Amino acid sequence: MQGKGLIKFLVIAVSIACLYSLSFTFVTRKVEKDAEKYANGDMAKEKAFLDSVAGEVVYNLGFAKYTYREAKANELALGLDLKGGMNVTMEISLEELVRNLANNPKDEKFNTALANALKDSKTSQKTFVSLFIGEYKTLGGSTPLATFFATKDNAALIKSSSSDAEVERFLQKEADNAIDNSYKVLRTRIDKFGVASPNIQVQQGTNRILIELPGVNDEKRVRKLLQGSAKLEFYETHDNFQVYPVLENINKILASTLVATPTSSETAVADTTKKDDNLLANLGAGKGAVKTDSTSASDAKVAKENPLFALLAPATYMGENQQVSLAPGPMVGSALLKDTAKVNALLARPEVQSAIPANTKLLWAVKTEARTPERLSLYAIRPSGIENGPVLTGDVITNAREEFNERNEPVVSMQMNSEGARDWKKITAKAAQSREAVAIVLDNVVYSAPNVNEEIPNGNSSISGSFTVEDTKDLANVLKAGRLPTTAKIVEEAIVGPTLGQAAIDAGVNSAIIGLVVVLVFMIGYYNRAGWVANIAVIFNVFFIMGVLASLNAVLTLPGIAGIVLTMGTAVDANVLIYERIREELGLGKNIKQAIADGYKHAMPSILDSQITTFLVGIVLFFFGSGPILGFATTLMVGIVTSLFTAIFISRLIFEFMLDKDMKISVSYKWSANTLRNAKFQFVEKRKLFYGVSVLLVLLSLASIFTKGFSLGVDFQGGRTYTVRYDKPIDIEQVRKNLDETFNLTTEVKVFGSANQLRVTTTYHIEETSDAADKEVLDKLNGGLAKVDASNKHEILSSQKVGPTIANDIKSRAIYSAIFSIIIMAIYILIRFHKWQYSVGAAIATLHDAIVLLGLFSILDGIVPFSLDIDQHFVAAILTVIAYSVNDTVVVFDRLRESLARPEAYKEDLGGLINRAINVTLSRTIITSLTIAFVLAVLFLFGGEVIRGFSFAILVGIIVGTYSSIFLAAPAVYDLRKGKHLAEPEAPKLVVTERP
């Protein structure tokens, strides 16, 4: 074995890297168990405990130290279907954006083009802007487009003489900015919400933003938070010297009113390294470590006498005379991140509010500074006017961008319209005269508070400071958010209760463990000692999958666990290919060492081809899928890579070790040594019989598809779905009848797992996504559910809402992904085998599998006692089946190509060669299919109701795929070539040379 040393190094390096990545998960789980034990069921105390350790080092590796917050960011996070929480898709209204950029024109063709573009965007893959431009041209609009958008607010960006192409670029840039700015606003709001490990990302190529909020159960608050308009404001500020006496007074008020000494779970104590009679010197530096349970008596005394300053360190600096002095500027103090909520609670007390002047407002900074990463600054804002509001709002900003000044420092350039420039001139003149700062506030959070050096007369400002390039990008986005002429609304929503999440975890873990045991037992039972080698490789494979997922900061979902379980089944495929070739080589009389070497060598093309086809499907799923399907796609692709690594390298290293130690190696038992070894089935001769069976299955499937149809999941048809649990078993027909009467629509009601658990889907108010519509649907649902039996109480475990627009988009992406997958694999086979007959043969088999599987879901829907909805999970399943079918087919094609590579092959009948190729690989096909079928049966039985339909689809698909790869694909190649060889050998040529 060449490169043995390098391979050993790679195995050790990858193992260490995976162990390192997974170690963060072990650490955070331990901290959270400690918090759970400390809280004893009190969620508020548990959260307070975790908040208190957020900035503390919980993982010390010597060369690196990690706080709980940092370790949490690196753990293998659980998806909402496992942890519970809320999943939201926000859609930015580009129709509203275009309309507002044009100042709401009354032009009929303009508005018709907008309406048509909005309608077409539900099914088209083009951008909304290009659809609008195209519609306007199609309608024959006589007014140049530039005329609508060359407003005074857009004067710096577009002119009345601009071409349609320039207008399209302008609108597309504004659309991209709107999406980016909305992302920034939503990111900040979510950070303020205090969600652990939130996930927010722009869905590339769309105007949608995907948001996951684990552990959240206050849906109303989330909806209000996410759908509120962004509010950018400019405020005058107070200086620290003016505000410190107010804070000192508040501190005294709290000291006199708070009788009980704050406990370690309620407060923290500032550093008191300078203990003298000067309160400012005692509290001012604010540099100290936080002490909780280990608080000393003197520290507790200071905390009791100074409740506010124990949490909020005043803004001070050390002067030249080594005296602590108040720092100039609007920043009046700072607190540890974990203590900001406690400071807010103190400041919100009635006696404290009455002590704060009416023209003073205290606001936190948006984020910590680099020099104090654990502390958040507090600013003193001065509201003005009759309404105590800002001096200027963000709607006057026309543009903002990040730049570099003459000293090559990152700055932000900001432009205002004429009205804003006029007000800005007065504001900056006043601030410059009094040497004050102007605070830039978005959603009551301070993003920057720059000092004003001079009057700015024309509205063009440059904001500088201790900025990084990222800081200037963020600030520019915030300023542009102020003129955000569009709104974001929730178009898809899923809520998973913690009860259902825990049930999913239990089901997922159980199925994974049982699946692993099944694979291990089967491999040992069939391949003897070589089975132990394969099992070690499988265990390494699972370890590597988890480690890689953790290093990628991937989110583990229930389909992701299904992917891991499925990967355990497919992981043995490479080992089976190798072992079957080793057995063949042993049958030729070779010794075990040579048989192993040749077995690995000859199995390699089949292993690579079969795994690459599945990997290609994973890529398609990754780009076209969303939510949990992304988790499945990620796990599938990672699993394929790790499976190849473990099967090819780790198992080979173990064999080499055994050979070096003269250990006995066996790849079978006596009873399994000759299984299907001498098979001589006449597949080509019997092909017409199997063609007939397949045609019959396809016709029955198509008949059911076009007559009975499918039960579409909510993500394909839109609407709202709820998982409901009753205390006792319930009459499903009575529930359906009551809900039909309540909604005055046909309601889909299905048993979901046990007899007391239902899944209810309704299209009532399908076009409405407002909070009022959500509340009305929920009220009607609860009313209808309660009518069945007043004594049988119910609770809603989870809910999902999908608007019709996003449902159409999901459906379109699913169709495209299926078509694209088949095309990609056909192209790959054409490249690998150089003959179109191979591609067409594989395509026939995959189309057959897809139609039959769709037909079975149509025929069995409503008959079997579990959900067979066509949804994103089903699309993932059918693509996995297609990949497996091609995987199996490619193994046969590889053996056929190997046979045809022999010079004497052209003397044999093509049908005989195809029969031999199928018969020789039949053992591998059956063994792999059985192994995967065992694993999928475990997943189907123990994986939980959420993925039962998903696992059923793959289980049936594996059976159908095995059938088509044996009886259809290769025989189809025979007929496509009309029984002739794929290439004729060249006749020898007689070359005659003349002598000069």
What CATH number should be reported for the domain holding residue 790? 3.30.70.3400
178 with 99, same domain: the answer is: yes
373 with 428, same domain: the answer is: no
The whole-number pLDDT of residue 981 equals: 61
Closest CA to 798 of 944, 941, 940, 939: 944
- Residue 279's domain comprises 239-380
452 with 407, same domain: the answer is: yes
Give CA–CA dist 90/492, Å, rounded. Answer: 7
**Considering its fold, how many domains does the chain have in total?**
6
Residue 615 CB: number of other CB atoms within 10 A? 16
Indicate the pTM of the whole model.
Answer: 0.67
Q: Report pLDDT digits (tens) over 946-972.
A: 678 878 888 888 889 889 988 998 898
Whether 735 is in a domain gets the answer: yes
Q: Is 204 exposed, middle or buried (0-12, 13-18, 19+ CB in 10 A)?
A: exposed
Give CA–CA dist 174/95, Å, rounded. Answer: 12
- 803 alpha carbon, distance to own chain's centre: 20
| Phi, psi angle pair for 187, to nearest 5° | -60, -45
The whole-number pLDDT of residue 619 equals: 85
Report the b/e string of 876-909 with b at 16+ CB within 10 A. bbbbbbbbbbbbbbbbbbbbbbebbeeeebeeee
Q: In sequence order, what E strands does 74-207 have?
A: 77-78, 85-92, 199-203
What CATH number should be reported for the domain holding residue 470? 3.30.1360.200
Closest CA to 392 of 363, 419, 364: 419
The whole-number pLDDT of residue 852 equals: 92
Give CA–CA dist 79/630, Å, rounded. Answer: 11
H/E stretch holding 550 reads: helix 529-551
562 with 414, same domain: the answer is: no
246 token code pair: 């107010």
437 with 370, same domain: the answer is: no
pLDDT along the chain (996 residues), means of 10: 79 91 91 86 74 80 84 80 75 85 85 87 78 88 85 78 87 84 75 63 76 71 69 88 92 80 38 41 43 49 80 85 84 86 87 91 85 85 84 83 84 86 89 87 84 85 80 76 65 67 67 80 86 88 90 78 73 80 85 88 82 82 70 82 87 88 85 75 90 94 90 77 85 85 82 79 77 82 83 81 68 75 80 83 88 91 81 78 80 81 72 86 83 82 76 87 88 83 48 47
Whether 121 is in a domain gets the answer: yes
848 with 961, same domain: the answer is: yes
Closest CA to 290 of 340, 327, 326, 247: 340
The whole-number pLDDT of residue 703 equals: 94
Q: What count of Cα atoms within 13 Å lies in the side-chain half-sphere of residue 341?
A: 11
Q: Are 75 and 789 in contact (CB under 8 A)?
A: no
Write down the residue that tokens 């005055």 correspond to: 744
Write down the residue that tokens 């999958």 correspond to: 545
502 with 632, same domain: the answer is: yes
Q: Long-range contact list for 526-532, CB < 8 A, 24+ apart?
A: 526/668, 526/669, 526/672, 526/927, 527/579, 527/667, 527/668, 527/672, 528/666, 528/667, 528/668, 528/669, 528/672, 529/664, 529/665, 529/666, 529/667, 530/575, 530/579, 530/582, 530/665, 530/666, 530/667, 530/668
Whether 343 is in a domain gets the answer: yes
Number of DSSP helices (H) and strands (E) in the chain, helices first? 34, 25
459 with 596, same domain: the answer is: no
Distance of CA 888 to CAs 856, 968, 977, Å? 21, 12, 21
One-character DSSP codes across 723-736: EEEESS---HHHHH
Percent helix, strand and coil across the chain, each to the nearest 5: 55, 15, 30
915 with 840, same domain: the answer is: yes
193 with 274, same domain: the answer is: no
Among 345, 380, 415, the domain boundary falls at 380
Whether 563 is in a domain gets the answer: yes
Give CA–CA dist 764/762, Å, rounded. Answer: 5
Give CA–CA dist 713/553, Å, rounded. Answer: 29
The whole-number pLDDT of residue 292 equals: 38
Whether 620 is in a domain gets the answer: yes
Closest CA to 330 of 411, 439, 232: 439
Q: In sequence order, what E strands does 580-669 have?
A: none
Distance of CA 479 to CAs 55, 170, 397, 475, Å? 31, 18, 7, 6
Q: Are 117 and 510 in contact (CB under 8 A)?
A: no
Whether 284 is in a domain gets the answer: yes
Whether 81 is in a domain gets the answer: no
Whether 430 is in a domain gets the answer: yes
Among 380, 407, 441, the domain boundary falls at 380
Give CA–CA dist 381/330, Å, rounded. Answer: 7
681 with 599, same domain: the answer is: yes
571 with 611, same domain: the answer is: yes
Specify the 3-state DSSP secondary structure of 389: strand
Report the b/e string of 171-200 with b at 16+ CB within 10 A. bbebbebbbbbbbbbbbbbbeeeebbbbbb
Among 380, 400, 428, the domain boundary falls at 380
Q: Long-range contact list for 57-60, CB < 8 A, 24+ apart?
A: 58/27, 58/28, 58/31, 59/23, 59/24, 59/27
The residues, any chain, with a CB within 8 Å of residue 864's CB and separated by 6 or more, are 952
